[in-house]
Structure 1
């Protein structure tokens, strides 16, 4: 019997688990990406070389490979192509209009406003004249934000006119759009949520805590569950997330939501129709005792993912993750690992080796590894992460010169 083909957009390390699980489910996997030395190419059945940020080019490859489903995880680059291809080929995933709103933060913010979803005040800016007008209307602090980038790239927190002008001048060369947005900087507590919707039924909304690193903006470097907010905050988050999903018109997909609470009001920063990165698929899997990648793959193939979620554990498992990062740039002279033996450690992985060039951490692309642990409470998890981090030593060439 011929296997059904699932096209997975993206070939990085974060797509490898989805490829492996899809193969375990009996699907023939086609990984789509530009050419390069990417790890998902090594584990898939076929490779489709294509720029996944170009929906029409991905559609051509989808037709060529005669796929039965299309999906992605942990990155936004191909999200527009997922909706574009799914709609034109009648596949099970988000619509093209929803995908466009996920990929374009301006369209997303407008949808939130039109549907009464709490979000920060904002202005569209196409030149410096409009930038100064936005500064006057919104006031400081504010955020300059590219609408089409991900991973905290193209986002600058600005507390003065000079910082805003510099932020604008940094954003415009890296965005593919001829505009950006300026929005009010909400000074509160950032957190997030993962959710899943299939056939218009939201199977769960799982709020989670975020650990951030302050670069030119707050960059998520870790997550944990259960969320430590009070019941009122959890209930408000659930309501807001459901309203945001409805405003964008998401269906048949995982959902990643960035949230912030200011003055006891939960606001949506942004959301997208795919699972979050930085170990968030594992967070959901460990918390519920399921394989979340199975739900993502099955939904894309039109198979009801609820049958996986229905087998979740009756009690939930606390867990936490953390990116490993460097405060300095340079070439690695040596890596020394002294990792404790502990069955609560789910994963410790390094994506660099001796001789690798690394950057001072600014965004997720600069991470050098990751840690995932589980435990009885978040405090247990955090203490274990600290023990693991204390056992990892990175020596750069300049450290021994």
Structure 2
């Protein structure tokens, strides 16, 4: 039986673990010790800090694995690269993983490839920040370069806010620098895809629903298909960025923005996306994308799977579940409509868990995914579900 190492044991990895087991692989679920749901599904529980590449490599050698993967999280990407390089496995290289795991190094690759992106400066001190602010119009965005999602990212409308954000970003990062960049305002969207043998296998643009009460407009859901005609332009800049970063074999997830008719790349990650994106890929193409990720990690060719079986793909919407207030969760009650076979609801919390109002992806209570005849139908059904969920929080 072939062995697949899956990095991370959180709820986001459970569909990936289940897919690997359906395919007949022995699942080696790897994470630090803890009460994580992924360990319940594992064939082998492997305890290692997935943020430490050498620690993961030692376990991979010891267990003689045949493949390695993850989804929806950045923590283990450099470890995947280290293992793939050392053991000759399919997947991202260590150099590419380091580039895509650092927003500053990614930005250098984008600029070298001629990819449209926000003008940015690396900053280590308040003096450097002050100099950068002389060259950028307000508002600006201050970013910790090594954190996932919206954590450590701040939209700043004044110089004073910029200096406060710099202080906060430097406290949260493991680097000795962060970024300040121009604020691009436009239509934010995402893209999910796969790169194999240095070529784009597929690129799946998705619309993004935003939450505006955090430190930066933050994604709380997606919808597909994305109907604005940006496919060709998005594919070109994503391919250029990944090629410059040295990518040959990796799934990817990226954030983009359409401003004044031009597509800009915000950032790109060397793994499949979170917030239901892998499920939405599967719904659109009528396949199980988690199984594709497992098969690719084992070196199989899967490009033919992304040929649409019908003239158009299946629309869907994903939406994060968030707490209406901070406290201790007593109970969640779902509405009767949740039994609809076109609706999938997963919960990441249980009674007695602490919850808080949404600030970033760590505050996710669960996820609703709805498929239907159109995005509009999906959104209407999603809104009914969200308004029908009852929370008891003390």
Q: Same fold, TM exceeding 0.5? A: yes
* Alignment equivalent of 1:188, drawn from 178, 186, 201: 186
Cα offset, 1:239, TM superposition: 2.0
Q: Distance in 2 between matches of 1:311 and 1:61?
A: 39
Cross-structure match for 1:318: 315
SS for the counterpart of 2:248 is coil
Q: Distance in 2 between matches of 1:162 and 1:78?
A: 35
**Contact 1:289/1:313 (8 A) holds in 2:** no
> Quick check: 1:202 aligned with 2:200?
yes
Q: Distance in 1 between matches of 2:282 and 2:34?
A: 30
Report the TM-score, using the length of structure 1 for normalisation. Answer: 0.95
Cross-structure match for 1:382: 379
Q: Distance in 1 between matches of 2:265 and 2:340?
A: 36
**Contact 1:221/1:323 (8 A) holds in 2:** yes
SS for the counterpart of 2:299 is coil
Give 1:1-400 correspondences, 5 Å limit: 3-214=1-212, 215-229=214-228, 231=229, 233-310=230-307, 312-340=309-337, 343=340, 345-397=342-394
C-alpha RMSD over aligned residues? 1.5
Any runs of at least 4 consecutive aligned residues in structure 1 with deviations exceeding 3 A, and if so which? Answer: 307-315, 341-344
**Contact 1:80/1:102 (8 A) holds in 2:** no
**Structure 1 residues 104, 254: closer, same or farther in 2, change over 3 A?**
same
Cα offset, 1:110, TM superposition: 0.2
**Contact 1:92/1:301 (8 A) holds in 2:** yes
**Structure 1 residues 132, 327: closer, same or farther in 2, change over 3 A?**
farther
Q: Distance in 2 between matches of 1:326 and 1:57?
A: 36
Cα offset, 1:342, TM superposition: 6.0
Report the TM-score, using the length of structure 2 for normalisation. Answer: 0.96
Q: Distance in 2 between matches of 1:393 and 1:341?
A: 12
Cα offset, 1:314, TM superposition: 4.5
**Structure 1 residues 341, 116: closer, same or farther in 2, change over 3 A?**
closer
Cα offset, 1:286, TM superposition: 0.1
Q: Distance in 1 between matches of 2:42 and 2:34?
A: 14
Cα offset, 1:390, TM superposition: 1.5
Q: Distance in 1 between matches of 2:308 and 2:216?
A: 39
Q: Distance in 1 between matches of 2:96 and 2:338?
A: 45
Give unmatched runs, 5+ long, in structure 1: none
Q: Distance in 2 between matches of 1:342 and 1:28?
A: 32
SS for the counterpart of 1:17 is helix
Q: What's the CA shift string for 1:189-238, capped at 9, x where partnerless?
A: 11011111222232211111011112101211101110021x2x333222
Q: Distance in 2 between matches of 1:149 and 1:358?
A: 21
Q: What's the CA shift string for 1:245-304, capped at 9, x where partnerless?
A: 222222222110100111211110000111110000001000010111111111111111
**Structure 1 residues 341, 9: closer, same or farther in 2, change over 3 A?**
closer
Q: Distance in 2 between matches of 1:344 and 1:210?
A: 24
Cα offset, 1:86, TM superposition: 0.3
Of 345-354 and 167-176, the range deviating more from structure 2: 345-354
Of 219-228 and 246-255, the range deviating more from structure 2: 246-255
**Contact 1:213/1:220 (8 A) holds in 2:** yes
Q: What's the CA shift string for 1:152-209, capped at 9, x where partnerless?
A: 1010000101110111111111110011011111011110111112222322111110
**Contact 2:4/2:26 (8 A) holds in 1:** yes
State the aligned residue count. Answer: 393
Q: Distance in 1 between matches of 2:185 and 2:86?
A: 42
